[in-house]
Each structure stands twice: as C-alpha cells, then as structure tokens.
Amino acid sequence: MTTQARLLWEKPRSSWMVGSATFTTEPSEETIVLHVNDEDTCKALYPGSTALTCFVLPGPKPGPVCNAADAGDSNAAYNNIPKDAVDCGPPSLGFEATSTKEFGDEVVLEGSGRIDELTVLFNSYACEDSPQWNNEFCTTTVDGHFFTHEITAHIYASNDLIIPIASATQPFQIPYRPSADVNLCKDGNGDPTGAFFNSVSGTCDFSKKTLLTFTDWDVDPVLSGNVVWTVEFNTGHYGDTPLAPQACNSTLAGCPYDSLNVGAKTFDGAPYAGDFANASDAVLDSTWAGAYCDNGSAGTGTLRPDSGCWTPYQPLGMIVLLDT
C-alpha cells in the first residue's frame, strides 16, 4: 500500500503551490516540514535572515526568543545568557583579532556561596578545511567536528585585578562552524555570503556558538557582592604564551583558536540573575590601544576596567554558587 501526502501553501492568494510525498509503507506518525521558497515570507518568519528560502516546522512561529524578559535562567548568582543564546547570533570579541589576552566583566552576585561554575558563551568562526578569511569556501567535513583548546577562567575581587581569588584551567572540545551554504545564504545580488544556515533560528550565521563551563577550580572561596570574572587563552600571537608558529599556521584554514571569540551582547531583559556592576563597562587586557573605549589612554597590556562603550556588548557569562 502507498500513502500520499499533499501539501498546500498559498502565496499569493491567487496561486497555490502543491507538493506531494509518497511512502511505500504507511508511517505511524508524520512530521511535515514546509519549505518556503519566498524571500519576503522567510524574512517575516525569521527577522534578520538573509536566506532566500527557509524551512518551517509545525507549531508556533520558529526562532529563538532571546529578547524575552524571562529568557534566561534565574537559578544562578549571576546570569546574562539567554536560554537559547547559541542560536541568537550574539556578536563577539576576537582575541587574536584584537590582540587580547583576557576579557570579562565586573558583576554583582545575588546571594553568597562557594564558587561552583562559570559558564561563558564562545563564538567559533573556525573552518576545518578552507581558507580562513574566505568564508564562501568554508568547509567542515562533518558537522560536529571539533578542535581542543585550553582556556583559563579567573574570579577576581573587584578591587584587585592582579591576583585572582580562584582560577580554573581546562581543555575544551570546541566545534568548528558548519560549511558555507551556497544555496540558502546569499546576499542581495544572489551571491553566496559564506555563512551557514541555522535551521533553529532560520538565519545565516558565520560562527558556531557554544557554552563552555568551568568547574575545576584551584580553590573554592565564598563569593558575594561584586566580583570580576574573566577568561583567557593563548592564540597564535597573543596570550601568556603565544602559540605560533604551528603546523596549522601554514594551512589554508589557519589555526582554529585564532578564530575563537567570546560572546558579548546585552540582551533585552538581562541580566536574569544578579546585576551588572556597570552596564557600560567591561574588563580587558589587550596590547592594542584600539581595543579600549579610551583608545588605550589608561594603558594597555594589563587587565583593567574599560569604561564607556560596552552598553550593548556585555560579556556573556553565568556564575553558579554552592550554598555554604
């Protein structure tokens, strides 16, 4: 017996698009995915998308809700990461691109307790097998492939950015971004942008977002009030121990850690737990004066507060404490 499903979609009202699917065995259940081949409709469904076509699953309007006031987990001492932030396309700070060694934020904790976890959102722009700065040819052989890199997290007292009160250094498996989608991700002229299609958000993205959680603390102090959290890692030319030259420096794809960034965005409704110490500030250690709001007038190459231009771009982190 064969079963045929007929799909109808109306756009515009005067014309009907008809499709069919034939099954050799009658399925016990079906999930129908609608492929919309209309740019205006796709942009209405997925604001910000540059895709000419898109896919829609049954149910409510697709896409993340990162700007909803209740979008973040409030069961933390501090949190400004929405629950679906990995699909919300937050911008990010590139360590190699901005000569940065360390980056983070001063925050106000809700309650007190021993440090348990620090979770930070990272953006991976790394391609596995293609020119690093030619995204149109970005290729990752298998979606889900990853590289391993060591990253250190620090917790500082707000009045001492020299000696951390707790640190955690861990190796992480970090995903490569998916291959460029030359069919769905095109610019206004119909040329491929080099982005990949994110089927969850319906947008074309250039980086794979991932949440990394630090738990291996050297000590577990009791924290309360204002603290500073940061992350640091070595890239090809920056950090405590720059890694170049390496074999990957001579490849077309380049070294993947040179395309690793830290997410930074102030979402509507954030923070969802705790508070920003100052919504216009971050904490930064870069040797490039242009990385700072004050163009380096207060110094470069040391970890210090950077004030005045971070209002839309708070570093994305979450701190969880254990009850004392």
Please report, in angstroms and rounded to a whole number, the separation of the first and last CA atoms in the chain. 65
Which portions of the chain are predicted below pLDDT 70? 1-33, 41-63, 130-136, 324
pLDDT at 152: 98
pLDDT at 45: 64
CA torsion 110-115-116-119 (nearest 10°) is 70
Q: Which residue type does 211 have?
A: L
Distance CA 182, CA 160 (A): 49
159 CB contacts (<8 Å, ≥6 apart)? none
Q: pLDDT digit string (tens) for 221-277?
A: 999 999 999 999 999 999 999 999 999 988 888 899 999 999 999 999 999 999 999
Strand blocks (E) in the chain: 3-10, 16-23, 34-36, 54-56, 78-79, 92-94, 100-124, 146-157, 166-175, 196-198, 203-205, 208-214, 222-232, 260-263, 275-276, 281-286, 304-307, 317-322
pTM: 0.81
